[in-house]
Amino acid sequence: MPTIVVDVMPKAELLDPAGKAVAGALHRLGDTAFSGVRIGKRFELTVDGEVTDAVLARARELASEMLSNSVIEDVIAVSVDE
Amino acid sequence: MPTIVVDVMPKAELLDPAGKAVAGALHRLGDTAFSGVRIGKRFELTVDGEVTDAVLARARELASEMLSNSVIEDVIAVSVDE
């Protein structure tokens, strides 16, 4: 069944404490190649049937209204994964 | 700066209570196009410099050892996003 993938990340201007903690752990482990870590969410919506334009439009609407908190998060991608 | 994106999802055979809650809310809202929702994580690792094979290999190692819990989660993708 086709899947619509919605990627949500914390806004760039906000602190991401969990990401900062992971970045700190990487530095303590000696991993200097990575300068920062941010942690967001990935939603997989299974679509019953075909992904029509209407379904994709509704998914975009849900992504910004229900799956993300626009005060602290950005929807960075809504894509179809067959 | 280049970014390595790590996508982690709950294993298919496990319940995902948060995803189930979202799917239930969608049904109550009358959205019948979506038959299921699963919620995972998206990590963005900012790379200081070039993404060499060694850096990517280390990111894959970190993805399975540190960024995911292999008992309940699968790393579904490690990709470079320039």
Show me where the domains of chain A are located. 3-81
Does residue B82 surpass a pLDDT of 90?
no
Bridge partners (DSSP) of residue B12 are none
**Which of these, A80, A44, A12, A29, lies nearest to B59 by C-alpha position?**
A29
Taking the C-alpha atoms of residue A13 and residue A22, their distance in angstroms, rounded to an integer, is: 18
pLDDT for position A1:
86
Q: Are A9 and A78 in contact (CB under 8 A)?
A: no
Predicted TM-score (pTM) of this structure: 0.94
User: Closest residue of A to B45, CA-based?
Assistant: A37
pLDDT digits (tens, 9 = 90+) for A34-76: 999 999 999 999 999 999 999 999 999 999 999 999 999 999 9
Interface ipTM above 0.85: yes
Q: Residue B9 has what pLDDT?
A: 98
Q: Which of A28-32, A72-76, B72-76 has the lowest mean pLDDT?
A: A28-32
Q: Nearest CA to CA, how far is B36 from chain A (Å)?
A: 5
Q: CA A38, CA A22: separation in Å to the nearest integer?
A: 9
Chain A residues with CB within 8 Å of chain B CB: 1, 4, 7-9, 19, 22, 25-26, 31-49, 55, 58-59, 62, 66-67
**Nearest CA distance, B35 vs chain A (angstrom):** 6
Contacts of A8 in chain B (CB under 8 A): 42
pLDDT at B54: 95
The CATH T-level fold of domain B3-81 is: Mth169; Chain: A , (3.30.1280)
Band (pLDDT 50/70/90 cuts) for residue B1 is: confident
Backbone angles phi and psi of B56, in degrees to 5: -65, -40
